Amino acid sequence: MSCLYSGSDEKKDFENIYFKLSLKTDPIIDDTTLRDGVQMPGLAVSPEDSAEIARLLDEIGVERIELHHYQNTDKEAVRLIKKMDLNARIAGWCRAVKEDIDDAIDCGFEEVGISHPVSYIHFRAKWPGKSPNDLLNRVIEVVEYAARDHGLRVFVHGEDSTRADWEFEKKFINAVAEAGAECYRICDTVGIGLSDVNSPLPNGIPAKIKAIKYETKIRDVEIHAHDDFGNAVENTIAAARAASGIWDRIYLSTTFLGIGERAGNAETEKVLMNLYMHYGIRKFEGKTSKLTYLADFIGRATGYIVPPNKAIVGAYAFAHESGIHTHGVLNDPATYEPYPPELVGNIRRLTIGKHSGKAIIRYKIMEVTGKEPSAEALMKIMEEIKRLYESGRKASLREEEFRRILQKAGLIE
């Protein structure tokens, strides 16, 4: 990473802040952008673009990619993705019905996630005439069909886990483990999970991670957090912390940009950067520079508009306009940037707007003209910009607008 720094002092400062924590578990990102993510209202993606998204996810270090496979376009996407022979494992998403398993097999999947509710809230709403044990037996039959009859690797997704009765959920997990499932996914379906280590079951995420380890027979665990309270990333990282020292690995289910149903999911890019920068998960080293490109590609491919102030990958994530900020960044970018934008493939943007000061305007004049402006010329440009914003303008100046101001002042032809 030394190429990102101008001197040894900057690199030392950087490393004194980051890579201080560690995890005694292997966090595996299980990206579901092409399943849960594209279920977001208004989004659609072609098979070719789906394949490119999968390729880029593989390049940034995602180790498992979850896919839909029911519509013809989904099946074509699966075919294209499997043809690329990625390092990431490719998994199909199924309901707890044998027809879905058959469809996954027809698509060539070697592993599947089988989703089924575990909370009484869902049971009463969806199957009012069936008992919890009736539903459990149904899931067991499908897991055995997938795992034992057809040799698939099986993950079971406990929908609405954070509102489930623990005694029933424990019974459910042990039953699917005995039926052949290797992993149980805690689904925080409505985003009510809590990261506090003192929060009890059912919605205490650390408590759930530990209870599953000590009270069930399942081999692996996963967290799938929704963002209804804005806590999806926090709860995902909390699950990884809780798994440290007690689970060999933990799967972290995420979507790039957090796209998905309602408020979305934990963002792949945020989880990855937190794991790498704060917890020193070095398997992501050298892969983070593709994050912004992938965000932009997903935006183009799906029609999703990436918020400009989106952390890490947004166009304004490293943008500076106010006088205090731009003055600091011009002297030392580290004053208002947590890490160099190149680390995530982003760029620094210095813009002129209502709150811009002398330092940034002088810098931008020099950037365009290649010359140091006189005090008189600088004041003239500042006054012209001030008049623009006093007349009601809100947006930052575009490059061509700034050039016209310089032309009017006679600084460029």
Say yes or no to pLDDT of 4 above 60. Answer: no
pLDDT for 212 equals: 99
Question: Can you state the percent helix, strand and coil of the chain, rounding each to 5?
Answer: 50, 15, 35
pLDDT for 7 equals: 63
pLDDT for 345 equals: 98
Distance CA 301, CA 295 (A): 10
Say yes or no to pLDDT of 109 above 60. Answer: yes
Say yes or no to pLDDT of 226 above 70. Answer: yes
Mean pLDDT of 304-319: 97
Distance CA 4, CA 11 (A): 8
Of residues 94 and 4, more confidently modeled: 94
For residue range 121-143, list pLDDT tens digits in order: 999 999 999 999 999 999 999 99
pLDDT for 57 equals: 98
Domains of the chain: 22-285 (3.20.20.70), 319-408 (4.10.430.20)
Say yes or no to pLDDT of 16 above 50. Answer: yes
Q: What angle do CA 311, 353, 397 make, to 5 degrees?
A: 95
Contacts of 172 (CB under 8 A, 6+ apart): 118, 136, 139, 158
- pLDDT tier at 413 (50, 70, 90 boundaries)? confident
Contact 113, 104 (CB under 8 A): no
- C-alpha distance from residue 370 to each of 346, 363, 366, 374, 377 (Å): 25, 10, 5, 13, 14
pLDDT for 269 equals: 98
Mean pLDDT of 42-66: 98
- Total Cβ atoms within 10 A of residue 401: 14
For residue range 323-382, list pLDDT tens digits in order: 889 989 999 999 999 999 999 999 999 999 998 999 999 999 999 999 999 999 999 999
Mean pLDDT of 294-302: 98
pLDDT for 5 equals: 52
Whether the model clears a pTM of 0.85, i.e. scores above it, the answer is: yes
Mean pLDDT of 292-304: 98
